[in-house]
Each structure stands twice: as C-alpha cells, then as structure tokens.
C-alpha cells in the first residue's frame, strides 16, 4: 500500500527492452535506503518489485501487462519519475489508500498557471469516469490529489508549489500521458452493489 505522497524525484538511468517486457534501472538514493530484494517501490504510481539495488539505484522488471496499462513504456534514459516507498504500518496516512495498480492512462489537456498554484486539466478514459467525483481523491503519476472538477471525459486538479517542485507534474506538458489510479473503495462498492443486484433478480 502507498499513500500517493511522493518521496523523491528519481531518474531513469537505463532501459533494456526484452521480448515481452522491459527492465528499468532507476536512480533514487532516498527510496533505496535499506532496500531489499523483493521490496516494492512505486514508480509514477506503478508498484514495481526491486530486483537489484546498490549505489542509490535499483532495477525493476516491467511485464507486458504493466506496459499495456500504464505510461511506463514511454520512459527513456533521462526521464524523471515520481518515487515512493510503501506505507509503513503505524505511520501517518498523508494522502489516501493507493495500491500502485494503475487503472489506465490519461493525457494532460491543458495547464492554467496562477501566482501560487496551477490548474491542470487531464483527459479521463470513459471506463474510469464513474469512479471520479468532485472533491474525491485520484492518483496521477503516483501523486495523491483532490479532484477540483469532473466531466465525462476530463477532470481538473490544482497543484501547489510543493507538488510542482517535487514531482514530475511540474514538468509534464500538454499531450503528455499520465498514469491514473482511482479510489479502490469505489471499485469495491460497485462490485458489491452489482453482486447484490444480480442476487435480487433471482
């Protein structure tokens, strides 16, 4: 489990394309402190498993399913990435419950800067629209954010200076893809209500 509070702005240092997967080596001195083989680290909101680590870097294998559902396939050497270690039991839940299981990708449609914050409009895939509500939580590239406004095919988020400075959302441009993870509680509720409805029809 993660909270969507990004700990470190990391960097891709190597990409190896395999037949049906990719192997990434990423630099993240903070998130690799005390790392062990098999640990989880969220990369742009995608939960990845540490395969190798050392000297402030770690390697992770990304399977075809993850490449299909996320924007990690677009990463290249030099790309900046949001990094977060799993939530520690007993720690403060600063964001919301994030699994690191990306539900789909969106596209940055528009950025509207202000003096102290920036409003960002993000394209919303149709199959995720029903899970996004005004003032609800959503994870964008691993960053826990509050939805300002939502429509059928887009939503907006407001970014404070800290988020702009310490995450990739400060450098993403219009047209760039972003990973989206909706609130898992909403998906469970939908599943339970759907099951109940079928049972009541019998």
Q: Domains in the chain: how many in total? A: 2
Helix, strand, coil % in the chain, rounded to nearest 5: 20, 40, 40
Q: Is 202 a domain residue?
A: no
Q: Do 134 and 173 fall into the same domain?
A: yes
Please name which of 140, 145, 146, 101 lies closest in space to residue 124, comparing C-alpha atoms.
140
Residue 37 backbone class (left: φ over 0; alpha: ψ -120 to 50; beta: rest): beta
DSSP type of residue 6 = -
Burial of 62 (0-12, 13-18, 19+ CB in 10 A): buried
Q: Is 200 a domain residue?
A: no
Distance, CA of 163 to CA of 153 (rounded, Å): 24
**CB-based contact 145:108 (threshold 8 Å):** no
One digit per residue, pLDDT tens: the chain, 202 residues?
A: 898 999 999 999 999 998 889 999 999 999 999 889 999 999 999 999 999 999 999 999 999 989 999 999 999 999 999 999 998 877 666 777 888 999 999 999 999 988 888 999 999 999 999 999 999 999 999 999 999 999 999 999 999 999 999 999 999 999 999 999 998 988 888 889 985 444 444 4
Instruction: Name the domain boundary from 21, 50, 82.
Output: 82
Q: Do 124 and 165 fall into the same domain?
A: yes
Q: What does 123-187 look like in DSSP terms, one character per residue?
A: E--GGGGGG--TT-EEEETTEEEEEEEE-SSEEEEEE-HHHHHHSGGGT--TT-EEEEE--HHHH
Q: Is 163 a domain residue?
A: yes
Q: Is 87 a domain residue?
A: no
Q: Do 135 and 169 fall into the same domain?
A: yes
Largest CA distance in the chain: 61
Query: Which domain CATH number covers 54?
Result: 2.40.30.20
Q: Is 21 a domain residue?
A: yes
Q: Find the domain containing 10 and state its range.
A: 6-82
Q: Do 61 and 131 fall into the same domain?
A: no
């Amino acid at each position: 489990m993660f909270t969507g509070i990004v700990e470190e702005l990391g960097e891709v240092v190597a990409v190896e394309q395999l037949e049906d997967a990719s192997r990434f080596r990423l630099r993240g001195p903070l998130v690799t402190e005390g790392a062990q083989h098999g640990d989880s680290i969220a990369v742009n909101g995608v939960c990845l498993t540490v395969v190798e680590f050392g000297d402030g870097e770690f390697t992770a294998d990304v399977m075809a399913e993850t490449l299909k559902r996320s924007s990690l396939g677009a990463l290249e050497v030099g790309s900046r990435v949001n990094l977060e270690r799993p939530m520690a039991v007993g720690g403060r839940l600063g964001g919301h419950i994030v699994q690191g299981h990306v539900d789909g990708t969106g596209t940055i449609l528009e950025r509207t800067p202000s003096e102290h914050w920036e409003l960002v409009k993000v394209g919303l895939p149709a199959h995720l629209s029903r899970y996004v509500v005004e003032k609800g939580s959503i994870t964008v590239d691993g960053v826990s954010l509050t939805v300002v406004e939502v429509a059928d095919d887009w939503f907006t988020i407001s970014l404070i200076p800290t988020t702009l400075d310490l995450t990739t959302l400060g450098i993403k441009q219009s047209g760039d893809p972003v990973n989206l993870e909706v609130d898992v509680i909403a998906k469970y509720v939908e599943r339970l209500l759907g099951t109940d409805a079928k049972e009541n029809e019998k």
